C-alpha cells in the first residue's frame, strides 16, 4: 500500500509522541518556497491542552459527517466552556480580582469572516456569542455590557459562572492579593481549536476566561483576531495560549500564518513566533521562566505543528485514524 508523505509524517509524529518524544520533527531550517502539498480531503482538528481531546471528539462528530470546519470548531470549544471542572474557560472559569468571571472569545472562518467578544459576563458560551457577532452584526467585536446586551437579544441566558471552587480560590488569593500568573496549566489554559473540513476549508475558534485574578477589564490575546487566532484559507491557521500580553506584542497567530505563507512548516512557523516572544522578553530584561506561550498551527495541506516557550504545553489532535495528545517542542526546559 502506498503511504503518502503526509500520512507517513503524521504516523511518525504520532508514534514519536507515543514514545514520549517531542512529536513534531519538521526540518530545523525554514523551507522557503516549499510546495504547498496536496489538498488532503481528510478532515483534521487540533486544539490546545488536554481538554482538547474531548473538544476534538465533539468537533469530529461534525467533521466526520461532512459538516463544516466552522460548525466543528464552535461545537468543539463549547465542551470545555460548559464544563465547570475546566477552570479557565466558560462556566467554572476563574474570576478577575473583583471576583467576576469575564470571558473572551473569537472565531474566524475560511472566508475571513470574524467575530469576537471581550469581557463578556454571565453568558456561558462566549464562542457562540462571538459567532453571532460575526453573522448577525455589521461589526466584528463587542465588549462588556454591549456584548451581554447583544447576547440577551439573541436569546442567550444569564447564568452565574462562578463555581464554589473558583470562589474559594479567589478568596484565598485576596488574602495575599499578589498577581503572579503561573506559567503552565495551573491558573490559565485557553482552548484554541483549528479544523480543516472535507471541503478543504479551515476555521478556528478560541475561548477563555483569561488569566485568573486579572485586573477588571483586562483583555488578553484570545479574542483578538491576529493575536489569539488567525485563519487564511489559502495558507493555514494558528492559535495561541499562554500569557496573552506576550502574544499580542508580536501579533502571534497572524505572524505564524504569514510565516507559513512564506514556506515555513507549521512547527517552524510556531518556533519562529516563540523566538520573537523570547527576543522581546530579553530586550525588556524579563525572565522567560515567568511566562508560557504556546502556538499550534495547521496548514492547508493538513500538516500541523506546535512550539512553546517552556516545557509543559500539549495539544490534542484528531484525524480519522488518530486521537492523541502531543507534547509540544519547547524553547527552554524549566523543571
Ligand atoms: C489570556 N491567553 O487571557 C489567555 C490565557 C491563556 O493559557 O491562554 N492561558 O492571556
CATH number of the domain bearing residue 138:
3.60.20.30
Span of 38-52, 79-93, 210-224 with lowest mean pLDDT: 38-52
Greater pLDDT, 14 or 142:
142
- The whole-number pLDDT of residue 176 equals 77
**Residue of 48, 137, 190, 241 marked catalytic:** 190
What's the rounded mean pLDDT across residues 41-56?
94
- Sequence-distant (≥ 6) Cβ neighbours of residue 210 within 8 angstroms: 93, 96, 102, 103, 104, 188, 190, 218, 219, 220, 222, 244
Whole-number average pLDDT of the chain = 87
User: pLDDT grade, residue 156 (50/70/90)?
Assistant: very high
* Domain-embedded: residue 8: no
Give the model's pLDDT for residue 28.
Answer: 35
Mean pLDDT value across residues 222-240: 98
Instruction: Kindly give the distance from the C-alpha atom of residue 131 to the centroid of ligand 1, in angstroms, as a whole number.
Output: 20
Question: Does 179 fall in a domain?
Answer: yes
Read off the pLDDT of each residue in 52-67 and give the average, rounded to a whole number.
97
Alpha helices in the chain (DSSP H): 5-18, 52-63, 69-82, 126-136, 144-153, 164-176, 244-249, 252-261, 266-283
| Cβ–ligand 1 contact at 246 (below 6 Å) | no
State if residue 92 touches ligand 1 by the CB under 6 angstroms criterion. no
Check whether 263 has a pLDDT greater than 90: yes
If you measure from the C-alpha of residue 198 to the centroid of ligand 1, how many angstroms do you get, rounded to a whole number? Answer: 30
Residue 94 CB less than 6 A away from ligand 1: no
Res. 40 pLDDT band, cuts 50 70 90: low
46 lines ligand 1 (CB under 6 A): no
Number of domains in the chain: 1
Number of Cβ atoms within 10 Å of the Cβ of 4: 12
Out of 141-145, 171-175, 208-212, 276-280, which region has the weakest mean confidence (pLDDT)?
171-175
**What's the 241 CA to ligand 1 centre distance in angstroms?**
5
Structural domain includes residue 158: yes
Whether 258 maps to a domain, the answer reads: yes
pLDDT on residue 8 = 31
* Mean pLDDT, rounded, for 294-317: 96
Dist. CA 190 → ligand 1 center (Å): 5
Could you tell me which of 236, 208, 204, 202 has the C-alpha nearest to residue 221?
208
- The position carrying cell 453573522 is 135
Asked if 190 is an active-site residue, the reply is: yes
In this structure, is residue 133 part of a structural domain? yes
Phi, psi of 44 (to 5 degrees): -150, 145
Bridge partners, residue 241, by sequence: 294
Place of cell 473572551: 104
Nearest CA to ligand 1 atom 10: 244
Among the atoms of ligand 1, which is closest to the Cα of residue 218?
A: 3
Q: Does 171 score more than 60 pLDDT?
A: yes
22 in any annotated domain = no
> Is 70 a member of any domain?
yes
pLDDT band at residue 188 under the 50/70/90 scheme: low
User: For 314-333, what is the mean pLDDT?
Assistant: 95
- DSSP one-letter code for 215: P
User: Domain containing 213: what range?
Assistant: 36-332
What pLDDT score does 181 carry?
A: 56
Q: How confident is the model at residue 189 (pLDDT cuts 50, 70, 90)?
A: confident
Residue 252 lies in a domain: yes
User: Around Cβ 241, how many Cβ atoms within 10 Å?
Assistant: 31
Is residue 308 within 6 Å of ligand 1 at its C-beta? no
Distance 247 CA to ligand 1 centre (A): 9
- Answer yes or no: is pLDDT of 147 > 90: yes
Higher pLDDT, 74 or 334: 74
Task: Measure the CA–CA gap between 106 and 194, rounded to whole angstroms.
Answer: 12
**In the chain, what percentage of residues exceed pLDDT 90?**
77
Q: Is 220 in the pocket of ligand 1 (CB under 6 A)?
A: yes
Amino acid at each position: 500500500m502506498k503511504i503518502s508523505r503526509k500520512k507517513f509524517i503524521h504516523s511518525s509524529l504520532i508514534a514519536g509522541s507515543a514514545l514520549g518524544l517531542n512529536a513534531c520533527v519538521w526540518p530545523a531550517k525554514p523551507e522557503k518556497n516549499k510546495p504547498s502539498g496536496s489538498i488532503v480531503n481528510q478532515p483534521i482538528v487540533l486544539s490546545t491542552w488536554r481538554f482538547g481531546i474531548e473538544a476534538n471528539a465533539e468537533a469530529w462528530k461534525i467533521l466526520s459527517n461532512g459538516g463544516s470546519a466552522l460548525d466543528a470548531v464552535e461545537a468543539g470549544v463549547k465542551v470545555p466552556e460548559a464544563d465547570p471542572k475546566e477552570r479557565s474557560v466558560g462556566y467554572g472559569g476563574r474570576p478577575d480580582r473583583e471576583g467576576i468571571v469575564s470571558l473572551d472569545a473569537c472565531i474566524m472562518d475560511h472566508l475571513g469572516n470574524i467575530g469576537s467578544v471581550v469581557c463578556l459576563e454571565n453568558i456561558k458560551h462566549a464562542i457562540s456569542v462571538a459567532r453571532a457577532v460575526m453573522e448577525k452584526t455589521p461589526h466584528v467585536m463587542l465588549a462588556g455590557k454591549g456584548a451581554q446586551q447583544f447576547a440577551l437579544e439573541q436569546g442567550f441566558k444569564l447564568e452565574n459562572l462562578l463555581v464554589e471552587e473558583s470562589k474559594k480560590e479567589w478568596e484565598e488569593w485576596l488574602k495575599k492579593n499578589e498577581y503572579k500568573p503561573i506559567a503552565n496549566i495551573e491558573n490559565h489554559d485557553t482552548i484554541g481549536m483549528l479544523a480543516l473540513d472535507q471541503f478543504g476549508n479551515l476555521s478556528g475558534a478560541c475561548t477563555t476566561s483569561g488569566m485568573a485574578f486579572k485586573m477588571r477589564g483586562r483583555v488578553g490575546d484570545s479574542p483578538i483576531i491576529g493575536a489569539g487566532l488567525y485563519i487564511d484559507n489559502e495558507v493555514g491557521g494558528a492559535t495561541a495560549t499562554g500569557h496573552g500580553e506576550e502574544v499580542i506584542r508580536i501579533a502571534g497567530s497572524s505572524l505564524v500564518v504569514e510565516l507559513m505563507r512564506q514556506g515555513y512548516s507549521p512547527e517552524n512557523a510556531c518556533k519562529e513566533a516563540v523566538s520573537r516572544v523570547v527576543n522581546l522578553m530579553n530586550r525588556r530584561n524579563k525572565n522567560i521562566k515567568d511566562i508560557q506561550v504556546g502556538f499550534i498551527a495547521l496548514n492547508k495541506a493538513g500538516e500541523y505543528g506546535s512550539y512553546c516557550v517552556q516545557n509543559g504545553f500539549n495539544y490534542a489532535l484528531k484525524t480519522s485514524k488518530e486521537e492523541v495528545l502531543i507534547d509540544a517542542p519547547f524553547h527552554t526546559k524549566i523543571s
